[in-house]
């Protein structure tokens, strides 16, 4: 289990589903140079492991150069093979106890949606961070679970494990989550699908 410190780098950046090399790598490097991102999660569905591995090797170099923790979504085996800093597990992925045997002391984060039961389970299984949400509607995926500030406050009371808040976070709503002591903001569509700002400019607006 790896201890994660909260600091001025409070953004947990999630990749878009569609990654176009080399343009994406150029954008990512510019974003990470802002020194606001603590984690970058590679989350691309419907791609072969070989394709994810190939893209991941390139992203890993950029993350390492910018001192950003590189997290792979869903697959502890591939995360281990890539030499990632950790893996994020959804509720339909491998159990954290099994993933820990593969990843040893690497970071393992767990999606807990809006469920106190899942939060307690993640704490018991010694997750390195807990992801709760969605707090707002999101373009990234259909919202099945809505979380509340009340749940965020509850989770902060019962554990010191860092909390990553997810779901539709953007310029006009992020401050409320930070004021209520969220450790990290998981952001995706605000950066990659922003119609007003380029990705590197969008992230600079979040202070």
Per-residue pLDDT tens digits of the chain, which is 207 residues long: 666 765 679 999 999 999 999 999 999 999 999 999 999 999 998 899 999 999 999 999 999 999 999 999 999 999 999 999 999 999 999 999 999 999 999 999 999 999 999 999 999 999 999 999 999 987 666 667 899 999 999 999 999 999 999 999 999 999 999 999 999 999 999 999 999 999 999 999 998
DSSP per-residue letters across 112-126:
-TT-HHHHHHHHHTT
Q: DSSP state, 130?
A: E
Q: Which two tokens stand for residue 194?
A: 């922003």
Q: For the chain, what are the domain ranges?
A: 11-204
pTM: 0.95
Q: Looking at the chain, which runs of residues are DSSP E strands?
A: 11-14, 37-42, 69-73, 86-89, 107-111, 129-133, 163-166, 184-187
CA distance 27 to 73: 20
Architecture of the domain defined by 11-204:
Alpha-Beta Barrel (3.20)
Q: Which pair of structure tokens corresponds to residue 46?
A: 């419907």
């Amino acid at each position: 289990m790896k201890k994660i410190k909260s600091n001025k780098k409070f953004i947990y950046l999630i990749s878009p589903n569609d990654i176009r090399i080399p343009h994406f790598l150029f954008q990512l490097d510019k974003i990470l140079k802002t020194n606001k991102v603590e984690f970058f999660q590679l989350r691309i569905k419907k791609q072969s492991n070989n394709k994810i591995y190939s893209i991941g090797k390139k992203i890993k170099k950029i993350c390492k150069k910018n001192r950003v923790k590189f997290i792979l979504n869903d697959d502890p085996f591939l995360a281990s093979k890539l030499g990632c800093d950790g893996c994020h597990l959804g509720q339909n992925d491998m159990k954290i106890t099994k993933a820990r045997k593969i990843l040893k002391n690497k970071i393992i984060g767990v999606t807990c949606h809006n469920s106190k039961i899942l939060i307690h389970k993640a704490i018991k299984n010694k997750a390195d961070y807990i992801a709760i949400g969605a707090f707002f509607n999101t373009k990234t995926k259909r919202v099945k679970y809505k979380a509340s500030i009340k749940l965020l406050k509850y989770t902060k009371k019962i554990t010191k494990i860092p909390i990553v808040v997810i779901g539709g976070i953007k310029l006009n709503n992020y401050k409320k989550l930070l004021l209520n002591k969220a450790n990290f903001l998981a952001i995706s569509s605000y950066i990659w699908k922003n119609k007003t700002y380029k990705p590197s400019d969008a992230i600079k607006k979040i202070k």
